[in-house]
Structure formats: structure tokens, C-alpha cells
Amino acid sequence: MIGAIEILIIAVIFGIIYGRDAIDKTFRKSANEGVVESMAGDLKEYYEEDPKRMVKLAVFIVSAIVFLVTAAYWAITRTDFLKMIGLDQ
């Protein structure tokens, strides 16, 4: 049987391979500009094409952060996580 660690490793490898291809096709980075400059240019183009897309992206990022904070709060308060890592008696 394949364990969870092996499945996770396979998923990470496929994510790296296909993620790099998607990033290379999506972001048109020039040789003389950095990653941040390239991303800023791409975001500017996305905003000029459809301003609502940027609002949707911002809402998605904020909701993802709120979800992760809520999940972490739940994990810390509802489980024995603090005892497991030795911060609570």
C-alpha cells in the first residue's frame, strides 16, 4: 500500500512540474526585469482588461487568509495542540 507521505511527495513533484509550466506561460518575464516588476506589469494588464477581476482576486485572498486564521484558531482552542507541542501544562 502507498502511504500518505508517498502520495504527498508525488503530488508535490507534479505540482512543481506543472506549476512551473503554468507560471512560465502566464507571466511573461523579460531578462532584464525582476519577478516583482514582472508581476506588477501583469497585474496592471489584468486590471486594465477587467477591473472586476482584481476585486475578485482581492476578495479571494482575504477570504483565504480569514479561513486559514479561523482554522488555526480552531485547531489551537478546540484540540490539545498546545499540549502536544509543550506550551500548555
Q: pLDDT digit string (tens) for 3-19?
A: 777 878 888 887 777 66
Residue 68, pLDDT score: 94
Instruction: Kindly state whether residues 13 and 44 are assigned to the same domain.
Output: yes
- The pTM for the full model equals 0.47
Q: What is the count of structural domains for the chain?
A: 2
Whether the pLDDT of residue 2 is over 90: the answer is: no
Instruction: Kindly state whether residues 39 and 67 are assigned to the same domain.
Output: no
For 32, the domain range is 1-49
Residue 63, pLDDT score: 95
Element (DSSP H or E) covering residue 5: helix 4-26
**What's the CA gap between 22 and 19, in Å, rounded?**
5
Q: pLDDT digit string (tens) for 72-88?
A: 888 888 888 777 777 77
Instruction: Kindly state whether residues 25 and 1 are assigned to the same domain.
Output: yes
Residue 43, pLDDT score: 76
Q: pLDDT digit string (tens) for 29-70?
A: 555 666 667 677 777 877 788 778 878 888 999 999 999 999
